[in-house]
Amino acid sequence: MKHIQLPKNKFVRIAINIAFIAFWEEFAGLIVEIIWEIIGELEFFNQDSYLVLLIEIIFLILPILSVTYWIWWGKKFIT
pLDDT tens, position by position, 9-60: 888 888 888 999 999 989 888 887 887 787 777 766 655 667 767 877 888 8
Res 76: pLDDT: 60
Residue 6 has pLDDT above 80, yes or no: no
Which string of b and e fits 3-32 if b means at least 16 CB within 10 Å? eeeeeeeeeeeeeebeeeeeebeeebeeeb
Q: Where are the domains of the chain?
A: 24-65
Q: Is residue 13 within a helix (H) or strand (E), and if so which, with residue range?
A: helix 10-42
- If one compares 66 and 45, the residue with the highest pLDDT of the two is 66
